[in-house]
Structure formats: C-alpha cells, structure tokens
Structure 1
C-alpha cells in the first residue's frame, strides 16, 4: 500500500498520513460494494504493492485490469 499512499499524497498535495486515510477509505468503499470474490483482491493488490512496484503497471493485474483502473483513478502517471 505504501506506493499507492505515496502516489496519492504526491498527486493530491497532502501528507502521507492523510493519503493513507484516503486509500483505506476508498479500499473499504470498494470492498463493501464489490462481489466477495473480487473484494478480497483489493487487499491483495494493496499488499502486493508493498512487495513490488505494482502501481501503474500496464500489464494485466489478474483482475481484468481492475487494479490498473483503480490506480488510474488517482490521475495520470
């Protein structure tokens, strides 16, 4: 989640603490509204971010591009 938080902080011009709150809020919102099988992938995507640079990857993320669309919602790279 670290890279997503940093990206949001940078693009929104807010602190990383504020960005983390925003990312957690959006993730919770998505998980509450997505089908259970897909909702679990939100956490997996954010966990994978901590292990490698998944933010902004253009390759298939295993979710039909959903992860790329979510990260793209924070603006162009």
Structure 2
C-alpha cells in the first residue's frame, strides 16, 4: 500500500496521512460494493501492490487534477 499512498501524495500534494486515509477509504468503498468473493482481492492487491503504478496511477492523476496538480 505504501507505493499507492506515495503515488497519491505525489499526484495530489496532500500529506502522507491524508493519502493513506484516502486509499483506505476508497479500498473499503470498493470492497463494500464488490461481491464477497472478490472483495478479498482488493486487500491482496494492496498487500502485493502488483502493478500499483498502473491502475491507481490514473486515479491518483485525476485526484491531482482536482487539487490543481499534474
């Protein structure tokens, strides 16, 4: 999860603590909306961070746009 948090910090300019809260909030939201069998994959992804710079990079970039960062 550290890579994702760092990416959100980089793209948005928010603090590491705020970025961690954002990542956890989004992950919990996704898990609540997914079928039970798939929700565990979010946790597994965050632990392994396989390809973290890819899928989450787009989301972090869009968050950065909201904060006037690119």
The TM-score, its normalising length taken from structure 1, stands at 0.70
Which of 50, 53, 57 does residue 56 from structure 1 map onto? 53
Cα displacement (A) at 1:29? 0.4
2:11/2:60 contact within 8 Å kept: yes
Q: Higher helix share goes to which structure?
A: 2
Report the aligned-residue RMSD: 1.6
Do residues 42 (structure 1) and 42 (structure 2) align? yes
Runs of 4+ with deviation above 4 angstroms: none
Which runs of 5 or more structure 2 residues have no equivalent in the other structure?
63-70
**TM-superposition CA deviations, 1:9-66 (whole Å, max 9, x none):** 11011111110000000000000010111111000000002xxx62234xxxxxxxxx
User: What is aligned with 1:21?
Assistant: 21
Offset of residue 8 of structure 1: 0.5
Higher relative contact order (CA 8 A, sep 6+): 2
Paired residue for 1:74?
60
**Count of aligned residue pairs for this structure pair:** 61
